């Protein structure tokens, strides 16, 4: 194992303690629930509460995006495990300002089950909570509703957070999040598994020199395993899946996210971005704004993903809307 | 090899092409020199030009900090190799606004030699260029002037960039950079080497299960190699070197940077930060501001470093001074 941790069973609690200390200008741990990270100024008056969450190990997802004009709370599960219903509910109680709340998370069965129980518990208190699932992973299913949520989470959360910050009501915020998700497509490639802190072993086997195109961030099967190819060929293959899927067409404007799964360096990400930009230029698709870095990881997993979000005037304004969180600041 | 690149001899040029495209709101490649990344609005009127640089492979160092109120240019070398004198000089020509320029870089022999030639070439044109070397790596020598520059680069560059943005003259900016460097100490730990893109092999050997405390970011020898220990013990050892070195004392206020060398995830960094914060609290040293993430890497190297900068009123104001660059935005 090449990780710096203490007792493997304490990684989430110790991470949360360090995180809330390091970023104490933005966030705090909820007093009555150690698995909810909340924005220091939440509840924000007259604003829909934005609650994101999921398993740990994807940092800066989810807690890194809690702050001003983005998420009001993140609900924290164990490594690769959904949070329990109680923290989902406690997050609502902590951030609801009387305008209702929106749950946003990637489409995984455990998350759906537990967040849905949070919806019911909140309803019993008379608080309306709506849900939008992120389903951006093109590789995970032909049926869009069955797709998993991966790095596209970042775009969908950002749009919803900004829409809520404008003072929109819950239906409007939900509609913006749905629009963002409908226009977002992602596909990744894995070169090596993350090290699970509990076992000290890779979470799956992927021999050096191989890659798996379309693999999920928890090691879910992708579309093809084969010999590692050069970056341009890998990006070609990924873009050949993403572009026709929406489809993205000549004249479109897009936001691009080239995301590290954890251990792939900025050098490689920018070499990949170069090819993404070339393909988009050839397709006469205009890049409006780009993000390159580690936005949705699986700890020290090696690999990357490409996300495109097709933009209209509203989505551009919301994407550019200023925010201030530990891992995303937009001026 | 678990890297996503094309021809290994093209990695720097392809990275630069991707970088300048992805971050084209902030930076551009200098027209007459493909190894100089400049701020789009440089030269900035009535401002000292801040020029940083060094070998590639440390991203987001150096080019990620080019932008508003930070660096005006980054000079780009090959992997782990100093830039040549010509781009050092061309950067001066590109960003000097008649107020002179300050070169800032880590103390490595090749960088000193080539940037010094840039100083001479600029002097022949009547442009005054001063230099401040970053020497924060406690592990690299008992003699401070012989020490290497590592993640402390980030603090020294930030302070100088902010001071220049206030309209201070070259002597004042240089004095602020020297003050920042004098008050900054770093030490790291390596768990695995980066993969050199040219060879596809690790840059040095460090068997799984071992660590080297104090190792430099190019694999320079550290103070001790031994069995990998738990995070708290590693941080204890690092802090035992850093704290007495300045020394940092009861009542001091510090900025903290817990930095990934590339492949160590945010989870581990925050677990390490937790222990740093505990030790500082026990020492009655107050944390003023914290940074946790990949600020100075060696591609996919595994490991981390801790940097402390002792602050006074001026350094606090300059650290907080707003800036807008691809990899550091402060509102």
Tell me the CATH class for A10-183: alpha beta
For chain A, state the CA radius of gyration.
Answer: 19
Alpha-carbon span B149 to B138, nearest angstrom: 9
Residues B155-214: tens digit of each pLDDT: 999 999 999 999 999 999 999 999 999 999 999 999 999 999 999 999 999 999 999 999
Tell me how far apart the 2 most distant CA atoms of chain A are, in Å. 55
User: Percentage of residues in chain A with pLDDT exceeding 70?
Assistant: 100
Q: Where in chain A is the domain with CATH 3.40.50.10440?
A: 10-183
Cα B327 to chain centroid, rounded: 12
* CA dist., res. A300 & res. A60, Å (int): 13
Average pLDDT of each block of 10 consecutive residues along chain A (331 residues)? Answer: 97 98 98 97 98 98 98 97 98 98 98 98 98 98 96 98 98 99 98 96 95 93 96 98 98 98 98 98 98 98 98 98 98 92
Q: From the candidates A1, A4, A290, which should be mutated to test the interface with B, based on the most B CB atoms within 10 A?
A: A4
Residue ranges matching CATH 3.30.1180.20 in chain A: 184-319
DSSP 8-state symbol, B202: B
pTM above 0.95, yes or no: yes
A2/B57 touch (CB, cutoff 8 Å), yes or no? no
Q: Is A274 on the interface with B (CB under 8 A)?
A: yes
Look-up of token digits 């995006």: A65
- Distance from the Cα of B197 to chain A's closest Cα (Å) equals 10
Nearest Cα to A283, choosing from A225, A242, A328?
A: A242
**Is A59 within 8 Å of A90 (Cβ atoms)?**
no
Tokens of B60: 């987001």
A286 contact B CB<8A: no
The residue from A23, A26, A196, A218 that is catalytic is A218
pLDDT band at B235 (very low <50, low <70, confident <90, very high): very high
A58 flagged as catalytic: yes
* Minimum CA–CA partner of A206 in chain B: B2
Q: What topology does CATH give the domain B184-319?
A: Hypothetical Protein Tm841; Chain: A;domain 3 (3.30.1180)
Binding-face residues of B in 172-191 toward A, CB within 8 A: 189, 191
pLDDT of residue A101: 98
The answer to whether B302 touches B234, Cβ cutoff 8 Å, is no
The set of catalytic residues of B is 58, 218
- Distance, in Å, from the CA atom of A51 to the CA atom of A101, rounded to the nearest integer, reads 7
């Amino acid at each position: 194992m090449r990780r710096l941790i203490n007792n493997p069973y304490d990684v989430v609690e110790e991470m949360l303690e360090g995180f809330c200390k390091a970023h104490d200008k933005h966030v705090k741990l909820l007093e009555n629930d150690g698995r909810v990270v909340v924005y220091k100024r939440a509840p924000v008056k007259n604003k829909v509460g934005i609650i994101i969450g999921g398993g740990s190990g994807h940092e800066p997802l989810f807690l890194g995006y809690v702050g001003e004009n983005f998420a009001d709370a993140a609900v924290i599960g164990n490594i690769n495990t959904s949070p329990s219903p109680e923290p989902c509910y406690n997050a609502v109680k902590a951030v609801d300002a009387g305008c209702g709340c929106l749950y946003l998370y990637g489409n995984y069965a455990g998350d759906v089950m537990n967040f849905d129980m949070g919806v019911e518990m909140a309803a019993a208190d008379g608080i309306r909570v709506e849900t939008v699932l992120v389903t951006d992973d093109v590789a995970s299913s032909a049926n869009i509703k069955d797709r998993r949520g991966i790095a596209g989470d970042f775009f969908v959360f950002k749009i919803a957070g900004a829409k809520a910050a404008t003072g929109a009501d819950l239906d409007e915020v939900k509609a913006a999040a749905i629009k963002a998700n409908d226009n977002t497509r992602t596909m990744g490639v894995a070169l090596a598994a993350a090290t699970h802190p509990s076992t000290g072993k890779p979470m799956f086997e992927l021999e050096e020199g191989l890659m798996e195109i379309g693999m999920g961030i928890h090691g879910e099967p992708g579309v093809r395993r084969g010999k590692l190819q050069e970056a341009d060929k890998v990006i070609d293959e990924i873009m050949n899946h993403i572009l026709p899927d929406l489809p993205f067409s000549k004249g479109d404007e897009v936001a691009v996210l080239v995301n590290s799964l954890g251990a792939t360096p900025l050098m490689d990400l920018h070499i990949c971005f170069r090819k993404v930009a070339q393909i988009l230029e050839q397709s006469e698709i205009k890049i409006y704004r780009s993000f390159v870095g580690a936005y949705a990881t699986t700890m020290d997993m090696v690999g990357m993903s490409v996300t495109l979000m097709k933009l209209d005037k509203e989505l551009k304004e919301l994407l550019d809307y200023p925010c201030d969180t530990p891992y995303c600041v937009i001026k």
